[in-house]
Structure 1
Amino acid sequence: MTIRLRTAITEVGPGVAELLEGGVLILFAEGAPPELAEMSILHAVVEGPTADAPPVGAELKIGPVSTIVTALGDAAWKKVADIGHVVINFDGEETAGRPGEICAAPVNAGELAAALKSGAEIVISD
C-alpha cells in the first residue's frame, strides 16, 4: 500500500456542515485566509503528498469513513502539493468538473460530519 497523503485535521470551519449537505468538502493547509478557512477543513500534513497523484480507485479515508477516488481534476494533486488545497466532491463522477477537484464515491453525510474533528486523519492510499 502506498500512502499518497496523510494529514491531520486541525480545525473545522463553521461553514463546513452546509457544504457537506451538498456533498462537498474543502481542504486547506493551516494558515488559509479567514474567509476561506470558514468554509474549509484546515489541516497539517503528516506524510506526503507523493509526487504521483493517486489513481482512480485509491482509498480516501477520513477518520473512520472510507470511500474511493472516482476522478481527479488536472490540477488537483498539484494544488494539494503546492498549497494544501483541494475540493473533494462526493458525487461519484468519473470526470472531475473542475481542474482542482477530486471526485469520490458518495458517503453518508452524517457519518462524515461526525468524523470531522480536530486530530482526525485524512489518508489517501492505494
Structure 2
Amino acid sequence: MSIIFRSTITSVGPEVLELLEGGILILFAEGAPPELAEVSVLHRIVEQPSPDAPVPGAEFKIGDLSAILTGIGDHAWAKVRDIGHVVVNFNGEDVPERPGELCASEVNLAALAELLQAGREITIQN
C-alpha cells in the first residue's frame, strides 16, 4: 500500500464529538471559516494528496485506528486536494449520500473520539 494522503491534526472543534456520535467526521485544513472549524477536525497537510483518488478498500487511519474506505463520492477527492476538506461517514455504505463524502467501515466511535488530538496523524493508503 502506498500513502496517498498524510496530515496532522492541529485542533478539534467543540462540536466534533457530537457529530461523531452519528458516525460523521469532518476534516478541514487549517484556515477553515470559524463556523466550519466548530464542527471540524482541523489539520495540517504533511504530504500533498495524490492526483488519484483512493479506491474502495483503501485504508483510512487516525493514529492506530483504521477503517476501510467503502465508497468514494464523485467530488470528495477534488475537495481534499483543493481545500483539505472531506466528510467521512463511518456507515460502511458502498455509495455515498453526498458527492463530497467518503464512506468507511464502521469503527469503535468512542475509541476514535479519544484519538482526535492535536499531533495525531491521519493517513489514507491505496
TM range (shorter): over 0.9
TM-score of the aligned structures, taking structure 1 as reference length: 0.98
Corresponding position of 1:113: 113
Q: Secondary structure at the match of 1:54?
A: coil
**CA deviation digits over 1:10-40, x for unaligned, max 9?**
0000000000000000000100011100000
Aligned residues: 126
Does residue 1:94 correspond to 2:94, yes or no? yes
Amino acid at match of 2:22: G
Amino acid at match of 1:105: S
Corresponding position of 1:9: 9
Residue 48 of structure 1 and its aligned partner are, at CA, apart by 2.2
TM-score of the aligned structures, taking structure 2 as reference length: 0.98
Moved over 2 A (4+): none
Q: Secondary structure at the match of 2:51?
A: coil
Q: 1:56 and 1:31 mapped to 2: Cα distance?
A: 29
**Residues 13 and 40, structure 1, Cα contact 8 Å, conserved in 2:** yes
**Residues 3 and 48, structure 1, Cα contact 8 Å, conserved in 2:** no
Residue 62 of structure 1 and its aligned partner are, at CA, apart by 0.7
Corresponding position of 1:39: 39
Corresponding position of 2:18: 18
**CA-atom RMSD, angstroms?**
0.5
Q: 1:18 and 1:98 mapped to 2: Cα distance?
A: 20
Residue 64 of structure 1 and its aligned partner are, at CA, apart by 1.3
Q: Which runs of 5+ in 2 are unaligned?
A: none
Corresponding position of 2:75: 75
